[in-house]
């Protein structure tokens, strides 16, 4: 095998130096386009999506032509070409009616970008890459303000793109233009919601932002595009037109307010210490904190809508010495193909652990990716296993927990009405409030619970 050093000496660039796109790159484009589209998360939809073919759309926002495709630092790579959101929509047959606004914004963007670059060089040490990097990380580029938005005749649909630069090297801040919307973004969104019947907000962000602007709105689709790579524009168009079903689920809990996060007071700039970060959350991280202390999030961990629907059927629940296996099947009952993600949530199982749980110890979640299902087709994933059952003695604690909780096993595909609760029937009489929540009850082995 040829040594890596010899390869690098012959061609020090890992990418291609040919102007012609190779077959490998063409296949890669197809793959990342599909992956980017299926990974997008649909947070809300009041009938705005999917769009009809050949529809006219007014497109606004700094990310329309200048979407953030990847993170800073190691997340920033050179690629052969980037498909913007505008280009992706046009490639899909969408007519953009806001060309004048976009052209004016491009001029403002280029001027602002050059001014920002000169500032970065001015505050960094010439020839010192580390100084340049720190200046760049501490002073991220901010999207400029566009021209006044006015109603454009010929369409009742508007798409607004919110973009955020994020990556390694600097912490995010709870300030306008980062976690919070800038004044410009607030004004533009309010104007768009008042002018257009159908509004689609695209979140071209690498992390969580404040979504309170959607409060008290009875319309508006909300799509987490995230940083979708070089085929991001085409991938977003595939989702907006329903060519690809958005199958992504949130990997974080999105709180209603910044202060709802337990570490918000002491994080980074908030306590003035950006050098040392002490994590004092203990086990109360993410959904464990929100579940344990009954803090209602805006969107929970694992949330994500779909253009289709799924039905869950219990196949079996088996107790095998130190574990419980739950086997279920999923059927696509909706009009289009789609992919979902199953989640198994377990609670502590010993009486002592149950008492701690009442005091606030959160649940433990495990996920499984389901295959893409066509309309009417079904799949049976591998058994989801809980290993929190050490022996038969601890299994007796299940009845104890059931007496305090409305679920032990909770499996769901998607967020709305697809949750199935699994209870183990004991010889003990259970409280009425528990029975009310029981959807499917299983009879375990007679000698397990006494």
Give tens-digit pLDDT for 137-175. Answer: 778 888 888 999 999 999 999 999 999 988 877 788 999
Q: Of 73-77, 393-397, 402-406, which one has max mean pLDDT? A: 73-77
Q: Looking at 83-87, 89-93, 270-274, 365-369, which range is the least confident one?
A: 365-369
User: Which pLDDT belongs to residue 394?
Assistant: 30
User: Which pLDDT belongs to residue 342?
Assistant: 62
Q: What average pLDDT does the segment 421-432 reach?
A: 36
What is the 8-class DSSP label of residue 380?
-
> DSSP E strands: which ranges in 45-154?
56-60, 95-96
Would you tell me how many other CB atoms lie within 10 Å of the CB of residue 174? 16
pLDDT tens column, 216-268: 888 999 999 999 999 999 999 999 999 999 988 898 999 999 999 998 988 88
User: Which pLDDT belongs to residue 247?
Assistant: 86
pLDDT at 443 over 50: no
* Beta carbons of 225 and 49 less than 8 angstroms apart: no
What is the 8-class DSSP label of residue 115?
H
User: Which pLDDT belongs to residue 148?
Assistant: 94
- Per the model's pLDDT, the better-predicted residue between 119 and 7 turns out to be 119
pLDDT at 213 over 90: yes
Q: Lay out the sheet containing 56-60: strands in order across.
A: 41-44, 221-224, 198-204, 157-163, 56-60, 95-96
Q: 270, 276, 398, 418: which is closest to 338 by C-alpha?
A: 418
Q: 43, 58, 2, 125: which is closest to 299 by C-alpha?
A: 43
pLDDT tens column, 321-359: 555 566 667 778 888 888 766 665 554 443 333 333 333
Q: Which domains does the chain have, with CATH numbers?
A: 28-248 (3.40.50.1700), 310-443 (2.60.40)
Give the angle subtended at the CA of 298 by the CAs of 334 and 342, to the nearest 5°: 40
pLDDT tens column, 59-92: 999 999 999 988 877 777 778 889 999 999 999 9
Mean pLDDT, the chain, whole residue set: 76
Q: What average pLDDT does the segment 372-399 reach?
A: 45
* Beta carbons of 146 and 101 less than 8 angstroms apart: yes
User: Which pLDDT belongs to residue 432?
Assistant: 28
């Amino acid at each position: 095998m040829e040594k890596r050093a010899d390869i690098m000496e012959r061609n020090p660039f890992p990418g291609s130096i040919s102007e012609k796109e190779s077959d490998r790159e063409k296949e890669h484009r197809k793959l990342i386009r599909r992956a980017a589209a299926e990974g997008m998360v649909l947070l809300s939809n009041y009938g705005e999506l999917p769009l009809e073919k050949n529809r006219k759309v007014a497109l606004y926002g700094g990310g329309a032509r200048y979407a953030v495709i990847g993170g800073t630092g190691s997340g920033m790579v050179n690629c052969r070409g980037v498909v913007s959101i505008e280009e992706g929509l046009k490639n899909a047959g969408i007519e953009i009616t806001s060309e004048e606004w976009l052209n004016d914004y491009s001029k403002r963007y280029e001027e602002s970008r050059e001014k920002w670059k000169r500032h970065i060089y001015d505050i960094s040490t010439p020839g010192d890459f580390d100084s340049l990097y720190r200046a760049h990380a501490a002073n991220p580029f901010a999207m400029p303000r566009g021209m006044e938005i006015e109603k454009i005749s010929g369409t009742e649909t508007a798409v607004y793109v919110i973009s955020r630069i994020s990556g390694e090297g600097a912490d995010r801040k709870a300030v306008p233009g980062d976690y919070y919307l800038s004044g410009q973004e607030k004004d533009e969104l309010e104007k768009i919601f008042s002018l257009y019947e159908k509004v689609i907000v695209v979140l071209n962000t690498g992390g969580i932002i404040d979504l309170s602007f959607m409060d008290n709105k009875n319309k508006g689709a909300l799509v987490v595009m995230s940083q979708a790579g070089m085929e991001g524009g085409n991938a977003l168009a595939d989702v907006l037109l329903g060519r690809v079903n958005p199958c992504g689920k949130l990997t974080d809990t999105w709180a209603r307010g910044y202060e709802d996060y337990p570490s918000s007071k002491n994080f980074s700039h908030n306590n003035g210490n950006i050098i040392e970060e002490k994590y004092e959350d203990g086990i109360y991280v993410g959904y464990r904190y929100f579940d344990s202390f009954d803090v209602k999030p805006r969107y929970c961990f694992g949330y994500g809508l779909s253009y289709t629907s799924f039905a869950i059927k219990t196949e079996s629940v088996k107790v095998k010495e130190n574990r419980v296996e739950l086997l279920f099947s999923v059927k696509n009952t909706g009009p289009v193909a789609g992919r979902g993600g199953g989640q198994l949530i377990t609670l502590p199982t010993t009486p002592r652990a149950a008492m701690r749980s009442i005091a606030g110890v959160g649940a433990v979640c495990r996920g499984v990716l389901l295959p893409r299902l066509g309309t009417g087709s079904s799949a049976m994933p591998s058994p989801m296993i809980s290993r929190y059952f050490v022996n038969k003695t601890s299994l007796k604690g299940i009845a104890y927990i059931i007496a305090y909780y409305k679920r032990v096993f909770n499996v769901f595909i998607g967020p709305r009405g697809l949750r199935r609760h699994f209870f183990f029937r004991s010889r003990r009489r259970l409280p009425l409030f528990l029975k009310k929540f029981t959807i499917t009850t299983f009879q375990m082995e007679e000698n397990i619970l006494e």
